[in-house]
Amino acid sequence: MEITYYPDPFLRKLADPIDKITPAVLKTLDEMIEFMYVANGSGGVGLAAPQIGLSKRLLVMDPSSREDEKIKKPLFFINPVITHVSKEEVEYEEGCLSLPDIFAPVTRPEACIVKYLDRKGQEKTIEADGFLARVIQHELDHLDGKLFIDYLSPLRKQMVGKKLKLLEKIYKEKN
């Protein structure tokens, strides 16, 4: 597995839903969570399938890993959909494995409700707030072709502009 880096157009695609939970889907989820734990040295607490070049509506995350890497509480989401967000919003600095070394404050709803399928194909609902809600929203954005930089004001986008241009240059050189 490799991270797909900005500005790869793949990151802007709408991911395809999972029609059937197969052993291959479960294996992909297991590989994604292990890859995310390895990438956690870069600060990653979540990973969406498009970030590794898969156009699938799959997310893995473990917000607890940022606090204590010895305790693992992995979460797996298949075909997640946000059904409700709170009116209250909070600003918090975000980063992304697909945008290395870029961090900026992003305003998002404080809480959300998400419906998804678990690894057994059972429909589940999670009510999340605080950091967990932020991670869910950030990772789900990847499934819809959005990046955290899309939420930045023109001024804040200008502040990270040099780093974005550097990533664009590196991408052009590799492709």
Positions marked active-site: 139
- CATH entry 3.90.45.10 includes domain 9-174: yes
DSSP state of 135: H
At residue 3, the 3 state secondary structure works out as coil
Query: What are the tens digits of pLDDT across the range 108-138?
Result: 999 999 999 999 999 999 999 999 999 999 9
Phi-psi region of 79 (alpha: psi -120 to 50; beta: other; left: phi over 0): left
Look up tokens 């059904």; give the residue. 83
Q: What pLDDT score does 163 carry?
A: 95
What dihedral do alpha carbons 91, 109, 99, 78 form, nearest 10°? 150
- Residue pair 135/63 in contact (Cβ under 8 Å)? The answer is yes
Residue 95 identity (one-letter amino acid)? G
79 and 89 Cβ atoms separated by less than 8 Å: no
Q: What is the pLDDT of residue 63?
A: 82
Distance between CA atoms of 1 and 52, rounded to whole angstroms?
A: 6
Q: Which amino acid is at 135?
A: V
Name residues of the chain where pLDDT drops below 70: 40-44, 65-70
What pLDDT score does 175 carry?
85
Whole-number Å distance between alpha carbons of 173 and 171: 5
